Amino acid sequence: LTSGLESAWNKLKGEEVLTKENIAEPMRDIRRALLEADVSLPVVRRFVQTVSDQAVGTGLIRGVRPDQQLVKIVNDELVKLMGGEVSELVFAKSGPTVILLAGLQGVGKTTVGAKLALYLKKQGKNCMLIAGDVYRPAAIDQLVILGEQVGVPVYAAGTEIKPADIARQGLEEAKKKNVDVVIMDTAGRLQIDKGMMDELKEVKRVLNPTEVLLVVDAMTGQEAAALVTTFNVEIGITGAILTKLDGDSRGGAALSVKEVSGKPIKLVGRGERMEDLEPFYPDRMAGRVLGMGDVLSFVEKAQEVMRQEDAEELQKKIMSAKFDFNDFLKQTRAVARMGSMSRVIGMIPGMGKVTPAQIREAEKSLKVMESMIEAMAPEEREKPELLAESATRRKRIAQESGKTEQQVSQLVAQLFQMRVRMKNLMGVMEGGSLPALNN
Ligand code: GDP
Ligand code: MG
């Protein structure tokens, strides 16, 4: 981190109000983070403007520091920018729901088609795929193979036929077979060109689709805004699917879609497996975009600040040797929160990426600890020594919480270990030995 940047946020910490002047540097920081995340420049500009206006306009909330408040405004605006909530797919009221997939070549349309068919099949929908990429025989084979893989029929009519005609025939077939959802794959080009757009328009006219989903590669970056705009203006989209989010792109494209088209991202692809399709969560994406702005990650800054604050409070507790099970619970919960936050933002400072499995594990062990702490009497929570001294008490807690005595002993030992570790951390060395558990 550059020292200038650090001091910008530090300076903010002491401020009484957010002003145009004192947020100028942090906002530059954010701007840079967004540009690094490949968000299109006009989108960044509008965003920074919106956040600045809002930051200056809002009074400080008591108990929330100005820098944290700014981070929150940024995060909330980012989430809003991407549509706020999860946007569900729309289904036709009667007759088959028709989903038309569009997008440039290689972005993952054909893959998404099959993934989506599987996704909807799991929801109990009877699906059918239509192979509309008539330019490469291999493209049809690809869809047929994927269709087999996910157990969904594929309507294919070869390459000697216009996509619009395939669409018409496919749709007729689907109606005959009482299919719930028809997904049409189309041909892409390397760049937007008139031929592709005309063809898509024609297919759209024939299908009258419920959803026209633009498939966008997460690596698209800066050009995303122009791309989405063109597709939306030319053929009219109802939403987008962001693919290849498993790569190391920052996903900046995600920020442009809603902003320039007014249409939400509905789904994301995060891998080559057929199962790798999920709803798009704006809050998680906001974190990713921010979290990936490596050096400039101001979320990291906020977390640092949070940890500092926790540490100060802890220090006081430790100095008075009063770190008890209530604090333990608070601390562990805070760590768990950070864990689930890290899923959102893809990072914890200094810890690198936390895998979902690790988070689940942490959440599980927190539940176990919570149930034991809940079984403690108030005086036991405040004076863990009581538990260290009495096997009877530990036994009671084990029974009440449905855990083993060994688990309770472990928890008690853990608390004292934490006391010691924190004392060492603070450089307060006296009284650093572990009390033995008496039987
Ligand atoms: P299309 O030309 O738009 O139909 O793109 P394809 O569906 O043929 O996909 C192009 C390549 O991207 C293929 O190698 C896919 O396996 C790959 N791909 C598609 N979606 C994803 C994804 O979400 N993650 C990763 N890693 N690869 C993907
Ligand atoms: Mg394809």
3-state class (DSSP) for residue 61: coil
The answer to whether 188 and 203 have CB atoms below 8 angstroms apart is no
Whether residue 127 is contained in a domain is answered as yes
The H-or-E segment that residue 129 falls in is strand 127-132
Alpha-carbon separation of residue 369 from 231, 356, 374, 378 (angstroms): 53, 20, 9, 16
Q: Is the CB of 332 under 6 A from ligand 1?
A: no
User: CATH number, domain at 127?
Assistant: 3.40.50.300
Domain final residue pick, 50, 83, 116: 83
Q: Are residues 106 and 217 in the same domain?
A: yes
Q: Is the CB of 230 under 6 A from ligand 1?
A: no
Distance from Cα 361 to the centre of ligand 2, integer Å: 39
Q: Are residues 106 and 155 in the same domain?
A: yes
Q: Are residues 302 and 271 in the same domain?
A: no
Q: Are residues 56 and 199 in the same domain?
A: no
Please tell me what DSSP assigns to residue 99.
Answer: E
Strands (E) located in 133-174: 154-155
Q: Are residues 117 and 164 in the same domain?
A: yes
Query: To test the ligand 1 pocket, which listed residue (118, 219, 272) has its Cβ within 8 A of the most ligand atoms?
Result: 272
Spatial strand order in the sheet of 97-102: 154-155, 127-132, 181-186, 97-102, 211-217, 239-243, 265-269, 277-279
Domain final residue pick, 280, 306, 340: 280
Q: Are residues 311 and 333 in the same domain?
A: yes
Whether residue 149 is contained in a domain is answered as yes
Whether residue 119 is contained in a domain is answered as yes
218 forms beta bridges with: none
Q: Is the CB of 186 under 6 A from ligand 1?
A: no
Q: Are residues 107 and 243 in the same domain?
A: yes
Whether residue 163 is contained in a domain is answered as yes
Of all ligands present, the nearest one to the C-alpha of 187 is 2
* pTM for this predicted structure: 0.67
Whether residue 432 is contained in a domain is answered as no
346: left (phi over 0), alpha (psi -120 to 50) or beta: left
Q: Are residues 67 and 139 in the same domain?
A: no
The answer to whether 332 and 433 have CB atoms below 8 angstroms apart is no
Distance from Cα 93 to the centre of ligand 1, integer Å: 31
135 forms beta bridges with: none
Q: Are residues 110 and 74 in the same domain?
A: no
Q: Are residues 388 and 275 in the same domain?
A: no
226 forms beta bridges with: none
Q: How far apart are CA 119 and CA 89, in angstroms?
A: 11
Domain that includes residue 378, residue range? 298-426
The answer to whether 130 and 154 have CB atoms below 8 angstroms apart is yes
The ipTM, to two decimals, is 0.99
Alpha-carbon separation of residue 411 from 229, 257, 321, 394 (angstroms): 57, 49, 18, 10
pLDDT of residue 313: 63
User: CATH number, domain at 378?
Assistant: 1.10.260.30
DSSP 3-state percent helix, strand, coil across the chain (nearest 5): 60, 10, 30
Whether residue 51 is contained in a domain is answered as yes
Q: Are residues 322 and 265 in the same domain?
A: no
Query: Which pLDDT tens digits describe the chain residue by residue (439 residues)?
Result: 334 445 566 777 777 788 888 889 888 888 887 887 778 888 899 999 999 998 887 766 666 677 777 877 888 888 898 888 899 999 999 989 999 999 999 999 999 999 999 999 999 999 999 999 998 889 999 999 999 999 999 999 988 999 999 999 999 999 999 999 999 999 998 888 888 899 999 999 999 999 999 999 998 878 888 999 999 999 999 999 999 988 767 678 888 899 899 999 999 998 889 999 999 988 778 767 665 333 223 344 444 445 555 656 655 665 556 678 887 777 666 655 554 444 433 433 333 445 666 666 767 777 888 899 999 999 999 899 999 899 999 999 999 999 999 999 989 988 887 777 666 555 433 333 444 455 4
Q: How far apart are CA 281 and CA 275, in angstroms?
A: 17
Q: Among the atoms of ligand 1, which is closest to the Cα of residue 271?
A: 24
Distance from Cα 107 to the centre of ligand 1, integer Å: 6
Angle at 163 between CA 145 and CA 133, to 5 degrees: 35
Q: How far apart are CA 202 and CA 79, in angstroms?
A: 35
Q: How far apart are CA 390 and CA 253, in angstroms?
A: 59
CA nearest neighbour of 413 among 391, 433, 439, 435: 435
Distance from Cα 269 to the centre of ligand 1, integer Å: 9
Q: Is the CB of 349 under 6 A from ligand 1?
A: no
Whether residue 287 is contained in a domain is answered as no
Domain final residue pick, 27, 51, 83: 83
Q: Which amino acid is at 45?
A: R
Q: Are residues 413 and 357 in the same domain?
A: yes
User: CATH number, domain at 30?
Assistant: 1.20.120.140
Q: Is the CB of 381 under 6 A from ligand 1?
A: no
CA nearest neighbour of 188 among 99, 100, 102, 98: 102
Neighbours of ion ligand 2 (CB under 5 A): 109-110, 133, 139
Q: Is the CB of 256 under 6 A from ligand 1?
A: no
Whether residue 318 is contained in a domain is answered as yes
How many structural domains does the chain have? 3
